[in-house]
Chains A and B, each alone.
Chain A
Amino acid sequence: AQKITQTQPGMFVQEKEAVTLDCTYDTSDPSYGLFWYKQPSSGEMIFLIYQGSYDQQNATEGRYSLNFQKARKSANLVISASQLGDSAMYFCAMRETSYDKVIFGPGTSLSVIP
Protein backbone atom coordinates (compact mmCIF):
# COMPACT_ATOMS: atom_id res chain seq x y z
CA ALA A 1 0.00 0.00 0.00
CA GLN A 2 1.18 3.49 -0.85
CA LYS A 3 2.35 5.11 2.34
CA ILE A 4 3.33 8.52 0.97
CA THR A 5 1.09 10.37 -1.45
CA GLN A 6 2.00 13.47 -3.38
CA THR A 7 -0.98 14.36 -5.52
CA GLN A 8 0.68 17.12 -7.56
CA PRO A 9 2.92 15.66 -10.27
CA GLY A 10 3.82 19.17 -11.44
CA MET A 11 3.44 22.68 -10.07
CA PHE A 12 4.19 26.16 -11.38
CA VAL A 13 4.81 29.23 -9.26
CA GLN A 14 5.71 32.80 -10.07
CA GLU A 15 9.05 33.99 -8.80
CA LYS A 16 8.79 35.64 -5.34
CA GLU A 17 5.44 33.99 -4.67
CA ALA A 18 4.83 31.29 -2.05
CA VAL A 19 3.94 27.73 -3.01
CA THR A 20 2.61 24.73 -1.09
CA LEU A 21 3.54 21.19 -2.05
CA ASP A 22 1.15 18.58 -0.70
CA CYS A 23 2.05 15.38 1.09
CA THR A 24 -0.13 12.89 2.90
CA TYR A 25 1.09 9.76 4.62
CA ASP A 26 -0.23 6.62 6.18
CA THR A 27 1.12 4.95 9.28
CA SER A 28 -0.09 3.21 12.41
CA ASP A 29 3.20 3.82 14.18
CA PRO A 30 2.70 6.55 16.81
CA SER A 31 6.31 7.68 16.42
CA TYR A 32 7.64 8.72 13.04
CA GLY A 33 9.56 11.40 11.23
CA LEU A 34 8.68 13.30 8.09
CA PHE A 35 11.16 14.80 5.65
CA TRP A 36 11.32 16.82 2.50
CA TYR A 37 14.12 16.46 -0.02
CA LYS A 38 14.90 18.52 -3.09
CA GLN A 39 16.36 17.00 -6.25
CA PRO A 40 17.52 19.55 -8.82
CA SER A 41 18.18 18.56 -12.41
CA SER A 42 21.78 17.77 -11.49
CA GLY A 43 20.43 14.77 -9.58
CA GLU A 44 21.68 15.11 -6.01
CA MET A 45 19.29 14.66 -3.11
CA ILE A 46 19.25 17.64 -0.76
CA PHE A 47 17.66 17.47 2.69
CA LEU A 48 15.36 20.42 3.36
CA ILE A 49 13.38 19.95 6.54
CA TYR A 50 12.37 17.45 9.24
CA GLN A 51 9.27 17.12 11.42
CA GLY A 52 8.96 14.63 14.25
CA SER A 53 5.52 13.23 15.02
CA TYR A 54 5.71 14.47 18.61
CA ASP A 55 6.98 17.93 17.74
CA GLN A 56 4.52 20.52 18.98
CA GLN A 57 5.50 23.20 16.52
CA ASN A 58 5.74 23.14 12.77
CA ALA A 59 9.31 22.91 11.53
CA THR A 60 10.89 25.85 9.75
CA GLU A 61 14.22 26.18 7.93
CA GLY A 62 14.78 29.52 6.29
CA ARG A 63 12.27 29.86 3.44
CA TYR A 64 10.97 26.34 4.03
CA SER A 65 8.25 25.48 6.50
CA LEU A 66 6.34 22.29 7.07
CA ASN A 67 2.61 22.54 7.66
CA PHE A 68 2.10 19.48 9.86
CA GLN A 69 -1.48 18.41 10.46
CA LYS A 70 -1.20 15.20 12.41
CA ALA A 71 -4.89 14.32 12.55
CA ARG A 72 -5.15 14.66 8.78
CA LYS A 73 -1.81 12.90 8.28
CA SER A 74 -0.52 15.65 6.10
CA ALA A 75 2.89 17.29 5.96
CA ASN A 76 2.81 19.98 3.32
CA LEU A 77 5.94 21.91 2.38
CA VAL A 78 5.61 25.65 2.04
CA ILE A 79 8.29 27.53 0.14
CA SER A 80 8.10 31.28 0.60
CA ALA A 81 9.47 33.87 -1.82
CA SER A 82 10.20 31.34 -4.58
CA GLN A 83 13.46 31.67 -6.47
CA LEU A 84 14.43 30.36 -9.89
CA GLY A 85 16.82 27.97 -8.16
CA ASP A 86 13.87 26.32 -6.41
CA SER A 87 12.91 24.64 -9.70
CA ALA A 88 13.41 20.94 -8.92
CA MET A 89 11.72 17.70 -7.91
CA TYR A 90 10.55 17.64 -4.32
CA PHE A 91 10.12 14.40 -2.43
CA CYS A 92 8.21 13.87 0.78
CA ALA A 93 9.53 11.00 2.90
CA MET A 94 8.75 9.22 6.14
CA ARG A 95 10.55 7.03 8.62
CA GLU A 96 8.50 5.03 11.08
CA THR A 97 10.51 4.70 14.27
CA SER A 98 9.92 0.94 14.35
CA TYR A 99 11.94 0.65 11.15
CA ASP A 100 15.25 1.88 9.80
CA LYS A 101 14.11 2.53 6.26
CA VAL A 102 12.95 5.89 4.96
CA ILE A 103 10.30 5.68 2.25
CA PHE A 104 9.69 8.32 -0.38
CA GLY A 105 6.65 9.65 -2.15
CA PRO A 106 6.46 9.90 -5.95
CA GLY A 107 7.60 13.52 -5.99
CA THR A 108 6.34 16.86 -7.26
CA SER A 109 8.10 18.75 -10.02
CA LEU A 110 8.18 22.46 -9.23
CA SER A 111 8.88 25.05 -11.89
CA VAL A 112 9.48 28.67 -10.91
CA ILE A 113 8.53 31.15 -13.60
CA PRO A 114 10.38 34.45 -13.85
Chain B
Amino acid sequence: EPEVTQTPSHQVTQMGQEVILRCVPISNHLYFYWYRQILGQKVEFLVSFYNNEISEKSEIFDDQFSVERPDGSNFTLKIRSTKLEDSAMYFCASSGLAGAPNTGELFFGEGSRLTVL
Protein backbone atom coordinates (compact mmCIF):
# COMPACT_ATOMS: atom_id res chain seq x y z
CA GLU B 1 0.00 0.00 0.00
CA PRO B 2 1.42 3.42 -0.90
CA GLU B 3 2.46 5.54 2.04
CA VAL B 4 3.83 8.92 2.95
CA THR B 5 7.41 8.76 4.18
CA GLN B 6 9.19 11.35 6.28
CA THR B 7 12.83 11.92 7.17
CA PRO B 8 14.39 12.32 9.62
CA SER B 9 12.27 10.62 12.24
CA HIS B 10 13.98 12.69 14.91
CA GLN B 11 16.20 15.75 14.66
CA VAL B 12 17.91 17.61 17.45
CA THR B 13 19.17 21.10 16.69
CA GLN B 14 20.53 24.12 18.43
CA MET B 15 18.42 27.25 18.70
CA GLY B 16 19.05 29.54 15.76
CA GLN B 17 19.95 26.76 13.34
CA GLU B 18 18.05 25.93 10.16
CA VAL B 19 16.37 22.56 9.70
CA ILE B 20 14.86 20.90 6.68
CA LEU B 21 12.24 18.22 7.12
CA ARG B 22 11.64 15.98 4.15
CA CYS B 23 8.57 14.16 2.94
CA VAL B 24 7.74 11.92 0.03
CA PRO B 25 3.98 12.08 -0.50
CA ILE B 26 1.96 9.37 -2.20
CA SER B 27 2.97 9.62 -5.82
CA ASN B 28 -0.37 10.34 -7.52
CA HIS B 29 -1.67 12.72 -4.86
CA LEU B 30 -2.13 16.37 -5.71
CA TYR B 31 -2.39 18.12 -2.33
CA PHE B 32 0.37 18.26 0.24
CA TYR B 33 0.33 19.49 3.80
CA TRP B 34 2.44 20.14 6.85
CA TYR B 35 0.96 19.94 10.32
CA ARG B 36 2.53 20.46 13.73
CA GLN B 37 1.72 18.80 17.02
CA ILE B 38 3.32 20.03 20.21
CA LEU B 39 3.73 17.28 22.81
CA GLY B 40 0.56 15.27 22.08
CA GLN B 41 -1.61 18.35 21.94
CA LYS B 42 -3.73 19.66 19.10
CA VAL B 43 -2.78 18.93 15.51
CA GLU B 44 -2.17 22.37 14.00
CA PHE B 45 -2.37 23.17 10.31
CA LEU B 46 0.69 24.92 8.93
CA VAL B 47 0.44 24.97 5.15
CA SER B 48 -1.15 23.33 2.13
CA PHE B 49 0.46 23.07 -1.28
CA TYR B 50 -1.23 22.46 -4.59
CA ASN B 51 -0.17 22.87 -8.20
CA ASN B 52 3.35 23.84 -7.15
CA GLU B 53 2.35 26.67 -4.91
CA ILE B 54 1.07 27.36 -1.44
CA SER B 55 -2.72 27.25 -1.47
CA GLU B 56 -3.27 28.10 2.20
CA LYS B 57 -1.19 28.85 5.25
CA SER B 58 -1.93 29.46 8.88
CA GLU B 59 -0.79 32.36 11.05
CA ILE B 60 1.85 30.02 12.47
CA PHE B 61 3.44 29.75 9.01
CA ASP B 62 5.33 33.03 9.05
CA ASP B 63 8.54 34.07 7.30
CA GLN B 64 10.48 31.60 9.40
CA PHE B 65 8.93 28.75 7.44
CA SER B 66 9.04 27.80 3.79
CA VAL B 67 8.02 24.81 1.70
CA GLU B 68 9.31 23.47 -1.55
CA ARG B 69 8.68 20.65 -3.96
CA PRO B 70 12.05 20.63 -5.62
CA ASP B 71 11.90 17.57 -7.83
CA GLY B 72 8.33 16.35 -8.26
CA SER B 73 8.57 13.75 -5.51
CA ASN B 74 9.96 15.37 -2.37
CA PHE B 75 8.09 17.96 -0.34
CA THR B 76 10.21 19.84 2.18
CA LEU B 77 9.58 22.11 5.13
CA LYS B 78 12.38 24.50 6.00
CA ILE B 79 12.47 26.19 9.38
CA ARG B 80 14.96 29.03 9.61
CA SER B 81 16.51 30.23 12.84
CA THR B 82 14.76 27.67 15.03
CA LYS B 83 13.35 28.66 18.40
CA LEU B 84 12.71 26.56 21.49
CA GLU B 85 8.98 26.71 20.82
CA ASP B 86 9.46 25.07 17.43
CA SER B 87 10.03 21.78 19.24
CA ALA B 88 7.19 19.56 18.08
CA MET B 89 6.21 16.64 15.91
CA TYR B 90 5.86 17.72 12.30
CA PHE B 91 3.54 15.65 10.14
CA CYS B 92 3.47 15.63 6.38
CA ALA B 93 0.26 14.53 4.68
CA SER B 94 -1.06 14.17 1.16
CA SER B 95 -4.48 13.76 -0.39
CA GLY B 96 -6.45 13.98 -3.60
CA LEU B 97 -6.08 11.63 -6.52
CA ALA B 98 -5.86 13.10 -9.99
CA GLY B 99 -9.24 12.94 -11.70
CA ALA B 100 -11.17 12.30 -8.49
CA PRO B 101 -12.90 14.74 -6.14
CA ASN B 102 -10.75 15.61 -3.17
CA THR B 103 -12.64 14.64 -0.04
CA GLY B 104 -9.73 15.83 2.03
CA GLU B 105 -8.90 12.43 3.53
CA LEU B 106 -5.33 12.91 4.65
CA PHE B 107 -2.69 10.23 4.43
CA PHE B 108 -0.11 11.03 7.09
CA GLY B 109 3.54 10.21 7.38
CA GLU B 110 4.87 8.94 10.68
CA GLY B 111 6.14 12.37 11.62
CA SER B 112 9.47 14.06 12.24
CA ARG B 113 10.16 14.95 15.84
CA LEU B 114 12.09 18.20 16.12
CA THR B 115 13.85 19.05 19.36
CA VAL B 116 15.37 22.53 19.64
CA LEU B 117 17.90 22.98 22.43
Contact = CB atoms under 8 A, between A and B. Distances in A.
B45 A103 contact: yes
B104 A44 contact: no
A76 B93 CA distance: 24
Given A45-B43, A91-B43, A107-B42, A100 B48 contact: yes
A35 B107 contact: no
- Size category of the binding interface on chain A: 20 to 34
A68 to B, nearest CB: 14
Contact of B45 (A102, A105, A107): A102
B1 to A, nearest CB: 12
A44 B105 contact: no
B75 interface: no
Interface residues of B, number: 26
Contacts of A100: 31, 33, 48, 50, 55-56, 102, 104
Contacts of A33: 103-105
Interface in A6-64: 33, 35, 37, 43-45, 47, 50, 52
A101 B45 contact: yes
A105 B44 CA distance: 9
Chain B interface, DSSP helix/strand/loop, else mixed: strand
Nearest to B44: A104
A101 B103 contact: no
Nearest to B113: A43
Given A52-B103, A102-B104, A44 B45 contact: no
B20 to A, nearest CB: 21
A50 B105 contact: yes
A47 B3 CA distance: 13
Interface in A72-114: 89, 91, 93, 95, 99-107
8 contacts: A33-B105, A43-B111, A45-B91, A50-B105, A99-B56, A100-B56, A106-B41, A107-B43
Interface of A: 33, 35, 37, 43-45, 47, 50, 52, 89, 91, 93, 95, 99-107
Interface of B: 31, 33, 35, 40-45, 48, 50, 55-56, 58, 89, 91, 93, 102-108, 110-111
